[in-house]
Amino acid sequence: MNRRELLKLLGQASGGLIAASVLGGCQAKAMDLLFSLDLNAPLPDHLITPIDEFYIQSYALASQVNAEKWKLRIGGEVNQPIVLTMQDILSAPQEEFYLTMECIGNPAGGNLIGNARWTGTSLLPFLKRAGVKSSAIEFAMKGADWYETTLPVAEIMRPDVRLVHRMNDEPLTAEHGYPVRILIPGHFGQKQPKWIVGIDAIAKTKTGFWENQGWSNTAEIPTHSLMKQVQDSRVWNKQNQVTLTRDKWGQGVLLAGVALDRSAPIKTIQISTDNGSTWETAEQNRPESPHEWTLWRYPWRPNQAGKYTLLARATSERQQQAIDDKDGKDGSSGILRIQTTLEA
């Protein structure tokens, strides 16, 4: 199955909502900004996706949850089930952090990815208060829309798993999970329920909504790069084909994009303009957290017209991105080939 068939499949499985997400979340502002930055100044530390461009992936309509009535039940294999209210979340210590969310169905180079600054509080103290029994092996997390997904106990009992209520310094919108969602770094979006209302410690393994349809149950983010822009052309919108007239490439062509890994900093981004025969190193930023996308750009100086195949390959401290993808349901880890024509 190729990328496009995969996307089509996901579109069908989600009632066509993904098609709207692709159009709605085209990242124009965020990526235009990356493209328009002064080449003589270093890349910024953070590039935020505005909320109105942030992709939305919901299997049903957004749940309308009243924050005053909202409750989060932590139960199952715990010594003392607890019920949290908005007051409990807001009176706990608050943290602000950057995290990039990506859908496992995001095709290489696609737009089902966004970076935001989130505000929330660590889940761990609440789990400790409830007292997770040694019989627990997973947590089942449930949204008000009955969306469910699971992860092993050790993954959820990390201090950087947080209950968040603000995105880019605004309360979460209904579409993004108002009033509270959970964020679990290192995993694709499907492991991060919106409108979270239940966290149950369970003694038997269980699979969730997307996982029951064959998507990876670990859903860990592989080391991967996305080329988003070639000169002033957004590659995804152009079906991975870019044609530049001489006035657009004569002075050089700027390539730009992002890269991400589940846990390790991105060491290098390499660019090939000859279908992978030779590679050059791109300029990149070095975000403090590996859970925020790395920005990269590469000023390419082609000296003649012709057809070029462009690739961007990320290497993290954990792994090097594969050239080709397994085309499975584990998320895109392969490299997108962008066919570029420079007109004479």
Ligand X SMILES: Nc1nc2c(c(=O)[nH]1)N[C@H]1C(S)=C(S)[C@@H](COP(=O)(O)O)O[C@H]1N2
Question: Is residue 37 within 8 Å of 296, Cβ to Cβ?
Answer: no
Does position 57 bind Mo ion by CB under 5 A? yes
Does position 217 bind Mo ion by CB under 5 A? no
Q: Whose Cβ is closer to ligand X: residue 138's or residue 175's?
A: 175
Closest separation between CB of residue 324 and ligand X, Å? 24
Contacts (CB under 6 A) with ligand X, residues 36-55? 54-55
DSSP line for 161-184: -EEEEEETTEEPPGGGTTT-EEE-
Q: Whose Cβ is closer to ligand X: residue 176's or residue 224's?
A: 176
Token pair in block for residue 141 = 């997390």
Contacts (CB under 6 A) with ligand X, residues 124-183? 143, 145, 147, 176
Would you call the peptide bond into 179 cis, given omega within 30 degrees of 0 as the criterion? Answer: yes
Q: Whose Cβ is closer to Mo ion: residue 57's or residue 115's?
A: 57
Q: How far apart are CA 187 and CA 190, in angstroms?
A: 8
Does position 192 bind ligand X by CB under 6 A? yes
Closest separation between CB of residue 212 and ligand X, Å? 13
Closest separation between CB of residue 279 and Mo ion, Å? 31
Q: Whose Cβ is closer to ligand X: residue 176's or residue 313's?
A: 176
Any residues with CB less than 8 A from the CB of 46 and at least 6 apart, and which? 98, 115, 117, 287, 292
Tell which one of 114, 189, 208, 290 touches Mo ion (CB under 5 A).
189
Instruction: Of 211, 258, 259, 250, give the one whose Cα is nearest residue 231.
Output: 250
Any residues with CB less than 8 A from the CB of 190 and at least 6 apart, and which? 103, 104, 149, 208, 209, 210, 211, 215, 219
Tell which one of 31, 65, 99, 103 touches ligand X (CB under 6 A).
103
Closest separation between CB of residue 94 and ligand X, Å? 20
Tell which one of 190, 225, 231, 273 touches Mo ion (CB under 5 A).
190
Any residues with CB less than 8 A from the CB of 22 and at least 6 apart, and which? 7, 55, 110, 111, 112
Does position 14 bind Mo ion by CB under 5 A? no
Any residues with CB less than 8 A from the CB of 138 and at least 6 apart, and which? 150, 151, 152, 153, 201, 202, 204, 205, 206
Does position 101 bind ligand X by CB under 6 A? yes
Q: How many residues bind ligand X (CB under 6 A)?
A: 19
Does position 57 bind ligand X by CB under 6 A? yes
Site of interaction with Mo ion (CB under 5 A): 57, 103, 189-190
Site of interaction with ligand X (CB under 6 A): 54-59, 101, 103, 143, 145, 147, 176, 189-190, 192-195, 210
